[in-house]
Structure 1
């Protein structure tokens, strides 16, 4: 199993601005679309309101499923959903990919 972690960091002084919109977007559009992808196994959304940092973790059955979600344009389209909030971020959303070695 593989995990893609997408990180969002808010600018200082704007830590709460746009968070509700982002959470609504995750619930209404991003997670439902993720569930339709081949090999999708789960989604975790993490939020540190004090530090203004959020992480979206998607789990994929195989590395090829994760890669296919990027090659197909799915991941790029999901990031495009966040563009209206981009002025609030310190940097564009960034991602990291890991192999899942333990899951309970």
Structure 2
């Protein structure tokens, strides 16, 4: 199991609540979103795939360059998800946190 940590500047206002998207089993991933009081967006990735840090870095850089994110903590548990699934789960977690008020609802 490898663990990576990334930080990105927050580019949007607060107003999010906790949310959960995805399931870690069967080749997928889980994203846990938690609002941060201020500062940057902090992403922690735990993955079963060794040597994937550069892939994660590139996918996350694209996501955070294209979408405005408030300061949040994202805990990602990966079991071999593709870059497309990574983007989808991040977008689902952000949408669930905004639209349904979070409350740890599963997407």
Higher relative contact order (CA 8 A, sep 6+): 1
TM-score relative to the length of structure 2: 0.37
Larger Rg: 1
TM-score relative to the length of structure 1: 0.38
